[in-house]
Chains A and B, each alone.
Chain A
Amino acid sequence: MKGLMDACCDKCTHTSETPCKDIVACRITGPLCHESTECSVKTKEAIDYTIYGSNGIRISVGMSTCGLASGAQEVYDEIKEELAKRSLAAKLVEVGCMGSCYAEVIVEVTRKGYPTAIYSDVTPTKVHAILDAYLAGDATGALALRSRSAKMRNEETIPLLEELPFFKHQKRRVLKNCGVIDPESIEEYIISGGYHALSKVLAGMTPEQVIVEVTASGLRGRGDAGFPTGLKWKICNQVPGETKYVICNADEGDPGAFMNRLTVEGDPHKVLEGLTIAGYATGASEGYIFVRAEKPLMAERLKTAIAQARKHGLLGRNILGSKFSFDVKLMLSAGAFVCGEETALIAAIEGKRAMPRPRPPFPATQGLWGKPTTINNVETLAHIPLLLSEGAKEYAGVGSEKSKGTKVYCLAGKVERTGAAEVPVGTTIRRLIFDIGGGVPSGKKFKAIQIGGPSGGCLPEKFLDLPLDYESLQSAGAIMGSGGIVIIDEDTCIVDLAKYFLNFTTAESCGKCSPCRIGLQRMLEAITRITNGKGTEGDLADLREISATVADSSLCALGRTAPNPVLSTMKYFPEEYHAHVEGKTCPAHACVAMMKGYRVEEDKCKGCGLCVKNCPTGSISLTAAEKGPGKAVIDSAKCIRCGQCVNECAFGAIEEEW
C-alpha cells in the first residue's frame, strides 16, 4: 500500500472498473470487508504519510492566485531550498487560500503532535528564521496557532486562528478545507471527509430523497437570484427525458467577487462531488463545468480533480458500484458577463454567441441541446456535500429565517483586511465590514458598500445594521448577487462609480434587446456628461426615466438590474449628483474633468524638466532663470488633466487644484 488509494492487500478489489461501494469509508477507517490488524495499520500509516510525509513535518504555502500575486512562488522555492540544505524531508504542499488575502504570503508549519503554526506576510528572507524557530519548538513569530499543546515555547503569546478578528465571527463550511488540504490530492480530500456524502447518497438514497433533503435544508442558489436549490432539482427531476444535463457555472465574471475562484482553487473536489450529486438527483448522466479562461488556475485544478475522480471510480460508469453513471466535461468560457443568464450560458456551451432567449421554456425543460438542464453556481454545489453528510436539520441550524446556511462574501476596496469571509446568512453589514474586515484603513471615512456588482447597489452608512440576506438587500435597493462587496471611502466619487458600472454593463450588453442595448448607452452618455461637468437637471431626469424603462422591459436580468447602481446612488447620495450638476465640482476629487488644473509648488520644483518632457500635450514649459534651471509652468488651457506630470515629478512639486 503505497498511497492511500492503493489496495491494502489482495482482498481489496476496488478499481474504477470494479468499484466497491465502501471505498471512501474504507480508506479512512478500513479495512471494512475483512479483518486484519496489519491492513488497519497500513491504512493508518498511509493517512499519516499523506498528511506528513515520511518525517512527520508538513509545510504548506498558500498558492492561490492571490498568494502567487504576493510572491508565494518565491517563498515556496526558498523553503524547498532551505529544506534541502537542512536535509529535512518535510512534506511541502501548495495549498489554496484561507480567505485571509490581506495576510499573504501565508505559510503553515506542522510537526506531528505539535500545534500547527501559521505565519503571515512571509517573504523569502523570513523563511530561515521561521523554520529555525518552529523546529526548535518556539512559537514566536507566528500569526496564529491552530491548537494548543503546551509543548512549544511562547505558545501562550500567540492567538488561536479562530481568535483572530478576521476568523472569530466566521462559520467556515464551504471554505473549511481551503488553505488546509492539498487541492491536487484526492487522498487529502477524502481524509477531510470528502466523498462521504456521495457514498451515502449512492448507497441508500433515491434521487427523490436527496431532493427532499436539499429542499428541507432551505438552501438557496448562491450565484445570484437565490432560487431554492431543492425546487430547481425537483423540476428537472420530474421532466421526462432520457438525456439530461447538469452545469456548474464557474464563469465568475462579477467584478469584485472571487469566492468561486477561491473555493475551486482550494477545494476542487468538493464542487465536483456536489455536481455529481446534482447529476444523481436530477437524473443527468453528463455534467459540464463552465469555467472562466481568465482564471486559469481554477481550470487547472478542476482538470486534475476530474482526472483523479475518474481514476478512482468516483466519476464514470457505475459509480461506487451503483447504477449511476456520470461524467464531467470542462469547458473554458471565453468571457461574457451575460453568461450569468442561464440561457446565455447554454448558448455559449453550444458554441454560439452568448445571447439569452426568452423564457419559458426554462432550461429545466429545454436547456442544453434542447434537453432538460439544471444550472448551479460553484458555491451552491459546494454546500451540497456537507448538507447531505450532516443532514438538512443540522444544516438549517445556521442562517436567517428565510435563508439558511452560510454565505461567502468577498471584501475588497477600502478595507483593512481584504479577503473572503464565510458567515451565516443574515449577518449584519457592520459585523462583516468592521469586525471581520477591520473597517476603512488610513483613518479615512467610510462612505458606502457596493454589493452585488454591476447588478447591485450602493448602500450608505445608515444600512450598516442591515442583515445580509436576499430579502433585506432587495428592499434596500441592492442585491446579494454573488456576494462581492467593495468598500468605498470618502476618496471614491459615487457618480464615477455609477459610471464605472454603466460602462461595464453597456460593454457587456449582448445587444439582443433594444432597451438594454440603447437604453444603457443613453444612460452612459448622460452620466458621462455629468462627470465631465457638463451635466444638467435634464440629464438627472433622463437617468431616472431611462432606468425605469430598461429595468421594466429588458429581456434578461443583465438589463433588468443594470440601472441598480445608478438608481441606488441617486437615491442615497443625491447631494453628490447635485454637486456635479449644479456646483460643477466633484467632492471626492475624482472626476478630473472638473479639476481647475495643476499647481506647481515653486519651492519644491528643481527645474529638472521631467514633466516638460513627459507632458503629452506640451503644456508645460520652464521659466527663464538668471542662474540654473527655471521653474515649471503649466498652461491650463492646453492641459488635459492626465496627471502624468504629477506621476513623473520626483519632488512632489505638482499638486491638483480643485
Chain B
Amino acid sequence: MDFFQTHPWVLIAIAVHLAILLAIAYLILLERKVASWVQDRLGPNRVGLGLGIIPILKDMKMKGLGQPLADGIKFLLKEDFRPAGADKILFSVAPALMIAVVIVSIAVLPWGGIKQTTRIIDVTSVADGIVPAAGTPEYRAIMDQCNAIVPATGQLIGQPIIHVATGGVAARVTYRYPFQIATLNVGVLFIFAVLALAVYGVVIGGWASNNKYSFLGGLRGAAQMISYEVPLGLSLLCIILMFGTLDLGEIVDKQATYWGSFVPAWNVFCQPLAFALFLICIHAEANRAPFDLAEAEQELVGGYHTEYSSMRFALFFLSEYAGMITTSAVCVALFFGGWHLPWLEWLWSPLRGNVDAAASPAITTSLLACVIRAAVFFAKTLLVIFVFMWVRWSLPRFRFDQLMSLAWRALVPMSLALLMATALVIYFFGAAAQRAHLRVGGTMALAMLGANVIIGAASLLAARMLPAPPPTNRRLKIRRGLEQSSPVAGAAL
C-alpha cells in the first residue's frame, strides 16, 4: 500500500491501460454499431457475454456485448500465416511497433489535474519528544523522511510542520502530484514525436510482406502521414503560442475557466479554424476514412496489412483504434478543456479546485474529484471518437492526388496564415497576459475568433484565385497512324 502512495502513477497507469484496452475492444463494437445505424441496420446483437457456452448467460444476447470477446478469441485461433519471401523479423516487428508507439503516447495525457495530499507521518524514531530546530541533523533526518513519501512525479508544498503529538513527534507533509502517468514539460511534442513513428509500422509492414499491394499501401501511407504532419504541427503551434507552454496539463489547466463567467474558456471557441484543421489532420494521421488510402480495399486489397492474419493483424487493427483514442484525447486536451466539466463543477468545490482556485483550478484535495475528472476526460474523448466513426461512414475516400492537393494547397497555407494571425493577435491583445502567464482573456479570445473567421473567409476568396490544378481527366489524342492503318477508317475518309 505504501508503494502505491509514493508511486501513484503506477496505479494510474494500470487503471488507464485497462480502461483503454477495454475501450479499444468495445470501440470496435461501437464502430460496427455506428456503421449499421447509419445504414438503417441494427448491427451485431447476437453474442452475449456467455458466448453461447457459459450456462445461465448462454441464452442472453445482451445487445451483442460479447462480440468483441468472440472476435478476440477468433483472432487468437486463426492461422498465423506468413507469406513466402516475407522478411521474417520485420514482418513481426511492424505490428508490435505500431501498437507500442500508440500505447506509449498515452503516458503523458493529463487525466485528472493535480492532486494535493496532506499526510501526517510519525518521526518519533528520529526526534524523540522534542521538535528539532532547523539546521540540526535531526531536522535534516526528518526532512529526508518527509521527502521520501513525496511521489517522484510530485513536489513538496511548503515546509513540513513538525509538532509533538501523543506518543511521539509527527510531521505534517503536504505535497502535490499530477494525476497522470508521466509528467513531461514537453508533453505535446512527445506525443506527436512518438505518434509520427507509427508511419514506420505502416511502411515496414508494407515492405516486409513482399506483396505489391502492401508495398503500395505502405508508400501511400508514408506520403500521407508525412504530408499531414505539417498542417497538424502548425495548427498545434497556434495553441502552443497562445499558452506559451508544451505541457498538456498546463494547457488544460488554463482552459478550465470561463469567459464572461459563463462561456467555457475552451480553445475550440476561440480557435475554431485551428480545431477544424487539427481534426482533419488527425483523421489523416490515424489512417481513418476519408483518408484511409493506405488500406483502400477497392484498390489495394487490404493495403499494408493485406498479408497479415491472426494476432498480428489484430495488433494493426487495435493500434488503429488505440491511435484514435490517443489523438482524440490530445484533441480534447487542446481544444475541449480536458477534464474541465463546465457549469456542473459549480456544484462541488473539489471539482473546480479547492486549494487555490485563483492560481490553478487543477489543484484539488479530493481523489474522487480526480477520478471524476478522468471520467469526464474519457467521455469527451469518446465523443470525439464517435465523430471519427460518424465521418467514416459519411464520406467517401479521397483520390490520392486530391489528398495531396488538400494537404499542400489548402491545409498548409491556411495553417500558416492562421499561425501568423494568432501571433499578431497575441502581439496586440495578449502581451500583458503572456508575460503574466495568465489565461487567455475574453478580449483576446474574441480577437482570436475574429482572426479565425477572417482567415477562413480569406482562404475562401484565395481559393478562387489559385491557379487551376492539372485537369483530372487527361485525354490522349487519338493517334493519326492508327486511324489511317485501319481500312474502315480509311474508307470513311
Verify that A and B bind, or say they do not: no
- A residues near B (Cβ < 8 Å) are none
- B residues near A (Cβ < 8 Å) are none
